[in-house]
């Protein structure tokens, strides 16, 4: 199987963490693809043009990251082990995916859109979703997360690696101390996750930029 992803994608990092937790590295190869690349093949695999996408056979590709994660856990027979309380896990995933949507949208607003077209109200609204989500996790951490290899913990840890990468100038570590204490402890305990942290990577030359 081929996972199309990019090293900085928070959704891709979540899937890669699940691949490791399910010991599926031999069955899934990762191919780097930037979703803003002008391409001819990728939209045939995922009409939405978004990564991650997992090609599972010559004529079948699945998306989005939530479906891919459940597919991998199911195939590996690990669903119950990683999600003993499935709806609790899925609720945390929904929250984190929403925060990731907001964070990626903030990144796109400032990175892909020319300055004169950027909308600060839009940026601030996305930032509010991100910070409200962090506050929610910070305040409910004892009932939502722990130090075990569970799906919800993998979702939060990989997402925070993206926040560290893209928003290191924000006061998040200071504002959500409990959440970051959990994160640092988790990354220390599960050092295998270092390899799937969000990373900067050169953006290919053939990408579409927003112009109008």
Ligand X SMILES: N[C@@H](CCC(=O)N[C@@H](CS)C(=O)NCC(=O)O)C(=O)O
Could you list the residues that contact ligand X (CB under 6 A)? 9, 11, 35, 49-52, 63-66, 97, 104
C-beta closer to ligand X: residue 47 or 114: 47
Kindly state the smallest distance separating residue 34's Cβ from ligand X, in Å.
9
- The residues near 100 (Cβ < 8 Å, ≥ 6 apart) are 10, 11, 159, 162
- The residues near 92 (Cβ < 8 Å, ≥ 6 apart) are 144, 145, 151, 152, 155, 156
C-beta closer to ligand X: residue 64 or 170: 64
- What stretch of H or E contains 15? helix 10-21
C-beta closer to ligand X: residue 51 or 188: 51
| Spatial separation of the C-alpha atoms in residues 114 and 94, rounded to whole Å | 31
Is 144 in contact with 137 (CB distance < 8 Å)?
yes
Kindly state the smallest distance separating residue 86's Cβ from ligand X, in Å.
18
| Spatial separation of the C-alpha atoms in residues 35 and 6, rounded to whole Å | 8
C-beta closer to ligand X: residue 46 or 79: 46
C-beta closer to ligand X: residue 74 or 184: 74
| Spatial separation of the C-alpha atoms in residues 63 and 3, rounded to whole Å | 10
Kindly state the smallest distance separating residue 37's Cβ from ligand X, in Å.
10
Kindly state the smallest distance separating residue 95's Cβ from ligand X, in Å.
13
Angle between helices 10-21 and 151-166 (to 10 degrees): 140
**Cβ-closest position to ligand X:** 64
8: left (phi over 0), alpha (psi -120 to 50) or beta: alpha
C-beta closer to ligand X: residue 106 or 150: 106
Kindly state the smallest distance separating residue 181's Cβ from ligand X, in Å.
27
Other beta carbons within 10 Å of 184:
12
Kindly state the smallest distance separating residue 130's Cβ from ligand X, in Å.
14
């Amino acid at each position: 199987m081929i996972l199309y992803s990019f090293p900085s994608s928070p959704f891709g990092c979540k899937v890669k963490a699940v691949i490791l937790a399910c010991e599926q590295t031999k069955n899934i190869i990762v191919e780097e693809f930037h979703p803003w690349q002008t391409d001819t093949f990728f939209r045939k695999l995922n009409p939405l043009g978004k990564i991650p996408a997992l090609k599972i056979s010559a004529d079948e590709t699945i998306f989005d990251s939530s479906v891919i994660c459940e597919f991998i856990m199911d195939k590996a027979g690990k669903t119950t082990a990683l999600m003993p309380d499935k709806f609790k896990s899925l609720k945390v995933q929904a929250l984190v995916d929403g925060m990731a949507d907001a964070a990626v949208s903030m990144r796109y607003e400032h990175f892909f859109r020319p300055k004169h077209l950027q909308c600060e109200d839009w940026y601030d609204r996305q930032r509010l979703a991100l910070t409200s989500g962090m506050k929610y996790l910070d305040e409910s951490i004892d009932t939502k997360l722990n130090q075990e290899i569970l799906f919800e913990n993998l979702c939060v840890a990989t997402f925070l690696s993206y926040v560290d990468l893209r928003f290191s100038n924000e006061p998040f570590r200071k504002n959500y101390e409990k959440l970051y204490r959990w994160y640092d402890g988790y990354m220390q305990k599960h050092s295998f996750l270092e390899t799937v942290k969000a990373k900067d990577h050169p953006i290919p030359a053939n990408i579409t930029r927003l112009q109008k």
